[in-house]
Amino acid sequence: MREPFKQRVPRDFVGSYHPRVDGLAKASGRAEYLDDVVAGMRNVLYAKVLRSPYPHARIKSMDTSKAEALPGVKAVLRYDDPALADLPATCCAWTSVNSASHDQMYYPNIKDHKILDSTVRWVGDEAGVVVAAESEAIADAALDLVEIEWERLPFVLDQYDSLQPEAPILHPDINPDDNLLPVHEFSGGDVFIEKGDAPAALAQADVVVEATCQYHRADHSALDTRGCLITWEGDKLTCWNNYYAPDQTRMYVSQMTGLPLKNVRVINPYIGGNFGRCNMGEQSFYIFTALLAKKTGRPVRYKMTRREDFHDTRNPVNYRVKLGAKKDGTIVAADFKALGDTGAYHGHGMASVKLVVKWDVLENMMAPIPNLRYEGYVVYTNKVPGGCMRGIGNIQHNFAMGLGIDMLGEELGIDPVEIAIKNYGHEWEPAPNKSVEAVLRTGAERIGWKDRHPAGKGPVYDGARKRGMGFSGNCTWHAAWQEEMRGRVQAQVKLNPDMSVVLQAPMVETGVGSNACVTFACADALSFLGTKPEDIHWVSVVDTETGLKDMIQTDSSCAYLQPELMPAIGTQLKAELINRAAAVLEAAPEEIDIVDGKAFVKADPERGRLIRDMLWFGDMVPVVVTVTQMPDVTKTGAPFAATFAEVEVDTETGKVDVLRMVVVHDCGTVMYASGAEAQQVGSQTFGIGESLTEEIVYDPATGAPLNFNWVDYSLPTILDFPDIEPVLLEVWRGAGEYGACGMGEGASTSTPRAIANAVYNAIGVRVDEIPMKPEKILAALAKGGYKVPEPPTPPSRLAAGVDR
């Protein structure tokens, strides 16, 4: 039995250790996902889309006559059909946290994505033609019968090669000069942060450390592969799917098909994991599936295979970090340069390098550092597009900054934990930041940090195995600016005459447990009725036709934004019940109170009536309260999280094993303790996998990915999992009733850097390119280091004299 966390404000259900509210449905296999919901549907056709066999090519001509003639094929839709050809180009990063129309998308100058384009830009790109047939097998066979004359184009896989003048240009419509994504004010120019004078401060610093590192491409690999089932009857379209933003899907489908919003119904059941995949506000498959449903008049199912589901990934970023400090460990300047590889389309590549650093990390973690300079570029390559994955860019930035902190500690002979405490913090609290201090000191104590030996100087086990400890810390994800953009939040409580409650707090349950958070907050808000979580039914299916506006399940912010509405719902429900009781009890509303489900006259408590009796023996009409409310977006900074890791490196084989981890998270308010700990423990699957085994491998000769499957793309199993101690704290406090923060992104941000620093502490040699596979460890041991290139200034910028 481990120690439970200590609650700052005692509450009955918020913050409790409790089974998941959907736990029994999920444990018994009764929870329904997209595959299960559509399994019983009749008359369904199956869609299959052509996937590019080439990394860069153009369809010169296409003959689909044999495919069309194949028995069982019901429709063939080609790139040159006006239904497709006339569709506007979009940006993969159309939106993220809110529902936005085509004319309000984040990056209006990067509309680089056409639905089933005739030009393909990565092996696996959806292109040219899609078919609908009586079975998936027939649809596959039909695609095999399509005859295509391809014009193969030169391709570029490497992010550095892609900058060179001779590189083939992927999107001449977006940028005719080279493969750089054009700058936009939303994310800033090439030098997107300039505070103070970093070069001058570095020149005067007592010590300067400088290093390079490379974050790579990893896949979300959620179990539930993406897809949809669409019916289009008359002017009415219904789309069952497993994306996590039903209202944005409705917006996208409406805008691309021309159907008004009222005629587009989007339904989302439970989904089997998401982790930020497709966090782009648009997916081609909705549109081509819809057009096939229209053409055939039948329901059409599209489902990605596991191979196809390797469809967007973590954005790789190559960093150079330079930190200057005084002898006492005070950082006087930080200078970063980054090159991001967004793959074939812009799926939030700009956010990975610039936006999140500019809008979150800067004010919530780097604020105490007086001189800052960030320069960044994002480049297209002929690879699978990048996107969001448990955060956007914060993990890549942390991989660089945590390296600088570790190096500075060694250079100055100061514990790097103390350097972090001295220098990390947000704009709204002077350093040392209480959250940073509490998180890092707790982690250090729990892992036994004081016993850490100097790098490479520890004991050797069994002749070849060396152990080491590392840590990294990060600001968690609490983006008030994003919450402002999301706008108002909606929820509804329906009190039935038997006192059971139906709670409509629409969000797609991806697994993060925000349904428990809002259910517990609802029970606390209805404590005057004696309501328990078991009395509340949270509506798990989101339906844009019958339901309220869904809360897009990003930033894990559903976990607190919907609960923040519950106090208002409780107040309004109580007022309505008091009004009803006033008539029954023949007293003025202000004379009445409700406690434990009973309304009574305060001056004469004997004069009372159970609310249940009042409703049950009344008209039995449920009492409904709907609240639409803007969250309190007062900026309060963000709390801190950290990962401490102990690893063992086999210096003969190069294999790294994570032995132990302590994951500390200041949550502001812990909304659901068991769920929060599940997020802390669970998000380490990503960190451990990305650090040690997970990597998409490309064949440089053909441009083909070699491991779009789970045999060759190696995910952590129960055997790879170390002992992990989750520690929850409540130190920082945000705005609102709870002032909580998200967990899913913050708890995984520091893991790769903590493991990399632990590896260095074990073997005394840095390997700052992940995954740290055995061959890299052995190469580093043999050569005394592992060289990661420095992000170059793009030649086109040098020519223009932009380099500063």
Partner 1 sequence: MASHAGAITLVVNGSTVTLDPSRDFHPSDTLSSVLRDRLGYTGLKVACDQGACGACTVLLDGRAVLSCMMLALEADGHEVLTIEGLPADDPVIQAFYEQCEPGYGTAMQCGFCTPGFVMAAKGLLNENPDPTMDEVKEALAGNICRCGCYPAIARAVLKAAATMKARAAGAAGAATSGAGSAKEATHA
Contact call for residues 319 and 399 (beta carbons, < 8 A): yes
- Considering only residues 726 to 765 of the shown chain, the ones binding partner 1 according to CB under 8 A are 726
Helix (H/G/I), strand (E/B), else coil: 540: coil
Nearer to partner 1, 390 or 797 (CB): 390
From 64, 435, 683, 691, residue interacting with partner 1 (rule: CB under 8 A): 683
Cβ nearer to partner 1, comparing 28 with 463: 28
Can you read off the two tokens belonging to residue 75? 């429709």
Cβ at position 721, least distance to partner 1 in Å:
4
Q: Which two tokens stand for residue 535?
A: 């009395």
Tokens representing 654 are 């190069």
Calculate the alpha carbon distances from 554 to 274, 677, 743 in Å.
10, 19, 11
The answer to the question of residue 537 lying near partner 1 (CB under 8 A) is no
In angstroms, the CA 519 to CA 504 distance is 10
Among 15, 409, 547, 716, binds partner 1 (CB under 8 A): 716
**Minimum CB separation from partner 1 for residue 91, in Å?**
28
Q: Return the range that interacts with partner 1 (CB under 8 A); candidates 1-9, 147-155, 326-334, 345-353.
A: 1-9
Decide if residue 705 touches partner 1 (CB under 8 A): no
Using CA atoms, how far apart are residues 470 and 758, in angstroms rounded to an integer?
4
Alpha-carbon gap, residue 56 to 54, rounded angstroms: 5
Quick one: how far is CA 103 from the chain centroid? 24
The site string for partner 1 over 302-331 (x = CB under 8 A, - otherwise) reads ---xx-------------------------
Interacting residue with partner 1 among 523, 673, 741, 755 (CB under 8 A): 673
Q: Is 270 one of the binding residues for partner 1 (CB under 8 A)?
A: yes
The piece of 3-11, 180-188, 402-410, 422-430 that touches partner 1 (CB under 8 A) is 3-11
Q: Least CB distance from residue 758 to partner 1, whole Å?
A: 19
Minimum CB separation of residue 152 from partner 1 in Å reads 30
One of 6, 12, 30, 203 touching partner 1 (CB under 8 A): 30
Site for partner 1 in 205-264 (CB under 8 A): 220-225
Q: Alpha-carbon distance 400 to 397, whole Å?
A: 5
Q: Is 451 in the site for partner 1 (CB under 8 A)?
A: no
Least Cα distance to 231 among 157, 286, 174, 308 occurs for: 286
CA-to-CA distance for 214 and 319, rounded, in angstroms? 6
Residue with tokens 């209805």: 526
Distances (CA, A) of 655 to 216, 467, 689, 736, 772: 19, 12, 13, 47, 9
Give the residue among 628, 624, 625 at the shortest CA–CA distance from 561. Answer: 628
Q: Which is nearer to partner 1, 36 or 233 (CB)?
A: 36
Q: What's the closest the beta carbon of residue 213 comes to partner 1, in angstroms?
A: 24
Site for partner 1 in 500-519 (CB under 8 A): 509-513
Please say which residue, 363 or 666, places its beta carbon nearer to partner 1: 666
Question: Stretches 30-38, 416-424, 647-655, 791-799: which one binds partner 1 (CB under 8 A)?
Answer: 30-38
CB of 610 to partner 1, least distance (A): 32
Region binding partner 1 by CB under 8 A among candidate stretches 24-32, 324-332, 333-341, 419-427: 24-32
In terms of Cα–Cα distance, which of 253, 225, 258 is closest to 99? 253
Geometric angle at alpha carbon 267, from 261 and 272, rounded to 5°:
140
Residue whose CB is less far from partner 1, 178 or 309 = 309
At residue 167, φ and ψ (nearest 5 deg) are -65, 140
Q: How far is the CB of 751 from partner 1 (least distance, A)?
A: 11
Contact mark string toward partner 1, 611..650, x via CB under 8 A: ----------------------------------------
Q: Which of 7, 8, 23, 609 binds partner 1 (CB under 8 A)?
A: 23
Q: Is 155 in the site for partner 1 (CB under 8 A)?
A: no
- Number of residues located near partner 1, criterion CB under 8 A: 70
HSE on the CB side for 617, CA within 13 Å?
8
Closest distance to partner 1 from the beta carbon of 763 (Å): 27
Start-end of H helices in 487-620: 514-525, 558-561, 566-585, 611-616
* Closest approach of partner 1 to the CB of residue 479, in Å: 22
- Kindly state the tokens that stand for 753: 């850097």
Kindly state whether residue 528 participates in binding partner 1, applying the rule CB under 8 A. Answer: no
Nearer to partner 1, 102 or 660 (CB): 660
**Amino acid (1-letter code) at residue 713:** Y
Tell whether residue 168 is a contact of partner 1 (CB under 8 A): no
Q: For partner 1, which is the closer residue by CB, 423 or 751?
A: 751
Binding flag, residue 686, partner 1 (CB under 8 A): yes
Indicate whether 706 belongs to the interface with partner 1 (CB under 8 A).
no
Rule CB under 8 A: choose which of 685, 691, 749, 750 binds partner 1: 685
Cβ of 22: how many Cβ atoms within 10 Å?
19
Nearer residue to partner 1 within complex by CB, 31 or 610: 31
Q: Does the protein bind partner 1 through residue 179 (CB under 8 A)?
A: no
CA distance 15 to 676: 9
Q: Applying CB under 8 A, does 657 fall inside the site for partner 1?
A: no
User: Alpha-carbon distance 669 to 9, whole Å?
Assistant: 9
Of the candidates 22, 418, 550, 695, which one interacts with partner 1 according to CB under 8 A?
22
**Token pair recorded at residue 463:** 């002749």
Cα–Cα distance list, 385 to 87, 380, 643, 675 (Å): 21, 9, 29, 31
CB atoms within 10 A of CB 28: 8
Beta carbons within 8 Å of 430's beta carbon, 6+ residues apart: none
Q: Is 41 in the site for partner 1 (CB under 8 A)?
A: no
* Residue 4 vs 189, nearer CB to partner 1: 4
Judged by beta carbon, residue 122 or residue 270, the one nearer partner 1 is: 270
Choices 87-95, 331-339, 600-608, 721-729; region in contact with partner 1 by CB under 8 A: 721-729
DSSP 341-386: EEETS-SSHHIIIIIHIIIIIHHHTBTT-SEEEEEEEEEE-SSPPE
Q: Is residue 94 a contact residue for partner 1 (CB under 8 A)?
A: no
271-302 burial, b for 16+ CB within 10 Å, e for fewer?
Answer: beebbbbbbbbbbbbbbbbbbbbbbbebbbbb
Per CB under 8 A, which region of 2-10, 361-369, 452-460, 752-760 contacts partner 1? Answer: 2-10
Q: Between residues 5 and 94, which has the closer beta carbon with respect to partner 1?
A: 5
Q: Which one-letter amino acid corresponds to residue 301?
A: R
Identify the sign of the CA torsion 409, 415, 418, 420: positive
Taking the complex as a whole, the smallest distance from the CB of residue 501 to partner 1 amounts, in Å, to: 21
Tell me which residues touch partner 1 (CB under 8 A).
1-5, 17-20, 22-33, 35-36, 39-40, 220-225, 270-275, 305-306, 509-513, 673-675, 677-686, 709-711, 715-719, 721, 723-726
